[in-house]
Amino acid sequence: MEKPLTQHIRKDGRPLSLKEYEQVGGYQSLRKIVKMSPQEVQNLVKESNLKGRGGAGFSTGLKWSFVPMNVPKPKYLVANADEMEPGTFKDRILLESTPHQLIEGMIIAAYAIQADESFVFLRWAYKTAAEAITLAIYEAQEAGYLGKNILGSGFDLHMHLHTGVGRYMCGEETALLNSLEGKRATPRAKPPFPQVSGLFGRPTIVNNVETFCCLPHIVNNGADWFKKLSLTKDAGTKLYGVSGKVKKPGAWELPMGVTLRELIEDHAGGMQDGLKFRGALPGGASTDFLVEEHLDVKMDFEGVAAAGSRLGTGTVVVLDDKTCPVGFVKNLEHFFAQESCGFCTPCREGLPWIEKILASIDNGDGRPEDIKLLEDHTKLLGPGNTFCALAPGAMEPLQSALKYFKEDFERHIREKGCHYEMEMATKALSQ
Amino acid sequence: MKVDTIMNKDQELKMLTTQEIKEIEKAISIVPYKKAACVEALKVVQEHRSYVSDESLKEVASYMDMSAEELDSVATFYNLIFRKPVGRHIILLCDSISCWVMGYENIKEQLTHKLNIGYGETTADGRFTLLPNPCLGTCDCAPALMIGKDLYRNLKVEELDEILKKYE
């Protein structure tokens, strides 16, 4: 099984130096692309069927193709390394261990759209990654992979590291651009799309870290090779992860399209002793729950969508049978309410209201009509009713929890409290 | 009379240090216009002064050719720009979903008990400020927290004393 993105990661976790990275074939792809036209690089990536690994799953090559080519400088490229989706820890691994792979991928993307300025937008908490990237950018500059006239091609690219100051909204690409411009990270209206008018009003591409890391391998091995890595129509490998009460939580690079069951039972070692699988968020906090009937769902963009959810970031958060689904969703909605940028009313006002309703149900103050009220909110804050995707994303786990775990909500209201807590307390007393 | 008052106010304004200006200028040099580096400028001042006081905010605003109000609208948007005094060490406790499933609430209870402070508060000796933090991105090793630049994973309640001891 090929693991192009992670095969060279050192066991001690220390990042690969430039020399070590070059020894395993690093930066070879640049020698190929400088002999290609930007259009040829775009076509190659389009053919490879690489889809964005940040959550939306949009074709990377197609995204690039909207960038106007014959316009004056500057054009911008941005790596979205603001990994803040709760339950998601995949980009951290790539950033800390193989920063040069990210830089090489970014150079390929920049060449394809002829960008001359680039930023890595890294979240504040990733201190180890910040050190690794700072050093790697310096090494790449010294070696002539960044800067002016890269490998004698006449192509220039400058790269800067920007560390964010903490806000989930910065993961949304237009809000990220506002943040890079020194503004509040509120989303922008689209159109114009960033490809045409992005950072500082210039053509801009924002891609996820894992997406960039796929690029050197696509250039080196070809589009067909990349497609064949996958078990399904969605090409490549994927960095999957599992957290929650499983025996061996972790992250693994696997062929795109492995099943949820394989992830949880084979790679994560199954549920902890005495616990049963109840459900899971397949790709971060803003994805709908999948439940037992979905265990054989293929974890690619189409497969998860057909099951009524989204692949998202591909990092699974597991809910077990001794953890309260109401408390679980309350935690998620607290996060979304706190991280709403406050720019549009349904999100700013709706999410805190939802959090309060969930808290009152959890505390035993819920009313029978609250369930209907929550269901109404999943529509009022759904797609099309808010300015960006934050609130609709927040509604995904809520609407699916109300569908699959309704009895738990009703029982909290009926029994005026949390039966999971009661059971735990009773057990503790009897011991 | 009025002129005097304004002048006095200006005199009260501390100046940015040479080192701070150097760092802010570096950030300005990579963006097309000054204002775009204002988040960086806030970070620089916070790095040197531990938090961004009203006075610091005014100094930065003046240097960046912005009004204090405009800069404050940016400063207060972000979770990790501190507009109030903070302790010598900042504890960021992850309160997101994987950590919650893995026992975050226990850690929080113990930590607030040991430090005798709640979220957003600083210990009386100025040693620690405790803050909740959205997902630290280490969910396979939950629960987790950060103190300063140090990340602690797979936290157990019994380890908290040992961890806190390292920070004076």
Q: Residue B136 maps to which CATH number?
A: 3.40.30.10
Answer yes or no: do B64 and B109 share one domain. Answer: no
Query: What gap in Å lies between CA B58 and CA B9, rounded to an integer?
Result: 11
Mean pLDDT for the stretch of residues B9-13: 49
Q: How confident is the model at residue A100 (pLDDT cuts 50, 70, 90)?
A: very high
Number of domains in chain B: 2
**Model pLDDT for residues A18-37, shown as the tens digit of each residue:** 999 999 999 999 999 999 99
Answer yes or no: do B106 and B136 share one domain. Answer: yes
Query: What is the ipTM, given to two decimal places?
Result: 0.95
The β-bridge partners of A394 are none
State whether A249 and B141 contact (CB < 8 Å).
yes
The residue whose two tokens read 């020194």 is A182
Answer yes or no: do B48 and B12 share one domain. Answer: yes
Answer yes or no: do B110 and B147 share one domain. Answer: yes
The verdict on residue B82 lying in a domain is: no
When scoring B26, B86, B138, B140 by the number of chain A Cβ atoms within 10 A, the one with the most, hence best to mutate, is B140
A92, A24, A86, A62: which is closest to A396 by C-alpha? A86
Mean pLDDT for the stretch of residues B15-44: 96
pTM above 0.90, yes or no: yes
Answer yes or no: do B55 and B94 share one domain. Answer: no
Query: How far A40 CA sits from the closest chain B CA (Å)?
Result: 30
State whether B98 and A200 contact (CB < 8 Å).
no
Mean pLDDT for the stretch of residues B40-52: 97
The verdict on residue B129 lying in a domain is: yes
Q: Is the dihedral of CA B20, B25, B26, B30 positive or negative?
A: positive
**Model pLDDT for residues A169-201, shown as the tens digit of each residue:** 999 999 999 999 999 999 999 999 999 999 999
- pLDDT value of residue B6: 46
The residue among B29, B51, B77 that closes a domain is B77
- Residues of chain A in contact with residue B32, where contact means CB-CB under 8 angstroms, are 200
Helix or strand (DSSP H, E) at A390: helix A390-404
The verdict on residue B110 lying in a domain is: yes
- Residues of chain B in contact with residue A167, where contact means CB-CB under 8 angstroms, are 77-79
CB of A25 within 8 A of CB of A220?
yes
Answer yes or no: do B112 and B147 share one domain. Answer: yes
Token output for A280:
């899971």
State whether B140 and A250 contact (CB < 8 Å).
yes
- pLDDT value of residue A179: 97
CATH number at residue B36: 1.10.10
- Residues of chain B in contact with residue A241, where contact means CB-CB under 8 angstroms, are 139-140
The verdict on residue B102 lying in a domain is: yes
Query: From A323, which residue of chain B is nearest by alpha-carbon distance?
Result: B101
Answer yes or no: do B19 and B61 share one domain. Answer: yes
Query: What gap in Å lies between CA A146 and CA A22, rounded to an integer?
Result: 15
Cα A375 from chain centroid (whole Å): 27
Answer yes or no: do B107 and B134 share one domain. Answer: yes
**Model pLDDT for residues A224-266, shown as the tens digit of each residue:** 999 999 999 999 999 999 999 999 999 999 999 999 999 999 9
The residue whose two tokens read 């987790």 is B144
The β-bridge partners of B135 are none
Above pLDDT 90, what percent of chain A? 97
The stretches of A169-290 forming alpha helices (DSSP H) are 173-180, 209-221, 223-228, 260-261
A 41-70 residues with CB below 8 A of B?
none
Residues of the domain holding B34: 6-77
Answer yes or no: do B72 and B101 share one domain. Answer: no
Q: Strand ranges (DSSP E) for B20-103?
A: 89-94
Mean pLDDT for the stretch of residues A266-275: 98
A36, A395, A82, A291: which is closest to B137 by C-alpha? A82
Answer yes or no: do B94 and B160 share one domain. Answer: yes
Q: How confident is the model at residue A293 (pLDDT cuts 50, 70, 90)?
A: very high
State whether B97 and A87 contact (CB < 8 Å).
yes
Answer yes or no: do B48 and B94 share one domain. Answer: no
- Residues of chain B in contact with residue A187, where contact means CB-CB under 8 angstroms, are none
The residue whose two tokens read 């709908």 is A288
State whether A125 and B97 contact (CB < 8 Å).
no
Above pLDDT 70, what percent of chain A? 100
A340, A318, A317, A332: which is closest to A391 by C-alpha? A340
Q: How confident is the model at residue A431 (pLDDT cuts 50, 70, 90)?
A: confident
State whether B101 and A243 contact (CB < 8 Å).
yes
When scoring B29, B71, B77, B83 by the number of chain A Cβ atoms within 10 A, the one with the most, hence best to mutate, is B77
**Model pLDDT for residues B129-143, shown as the tens digit of each residue:** 999 999 999 999 999
The verdict on residue B83 lying in a domain is: no
The verdict on residue B55 lying in a domain is: yes
- Residues of chain A in contact with residue B92, where contact means CB-CB under 8 angstroms, are 125
- Residues of chain A in contact with residue B79, where contact means CB-CB under 8 angstroms, are 165-167
State whether A249 and B139 contact (CB < 8 Å).
yes
CB of A319 within 8 A of CB of A349?
no
State whether B139 and A88 contact (CB < 8 Å).
yes
Query: Is residue B94's pLDDT more than 90?
Result: yes
Closest to A243 (Cβ–Cβ): which among B40, B42, B139? Answer: B139
Token output for B4:
């005097």
- pLDDT value of residue B13: 53
Chain B CB within 8 Å of residue A336 CB: no
**Model pLDDT for residues A50-97, shown as the tens digit of each residue:** 999 998 899 999 999 999 999 999 999 999 999 999 999 999 999 999
Query: Is residue A298's pLDDT more than 80?
Result: yes
Query: What gap in Å lies between CA A58 and CA B148, rounded to an integer?
Result: 37
A199, A202, A116, A104: which is closest to A158 by C-alpha? A116
Answer yes or no: do B72 and B16 share one domain. Answer: yes
Mean pLDDT for the stretch of residues B103-112: 96
Q: Strand ranges (DSSP E) for chain B?
A: 89-94, 128-133, 145-147, 150-152
DSSP, collapsed to helix, strand or coil, labels residue A252 as strand
DSSP helix, strand, coil percent of chain A (3-state; round to 5):
45, 15, 40
Q: How confident is the model at residue B1 (pLDDT cuts 50, 70, 90)?
A: very low
- pLDDT value of residue A13: 87
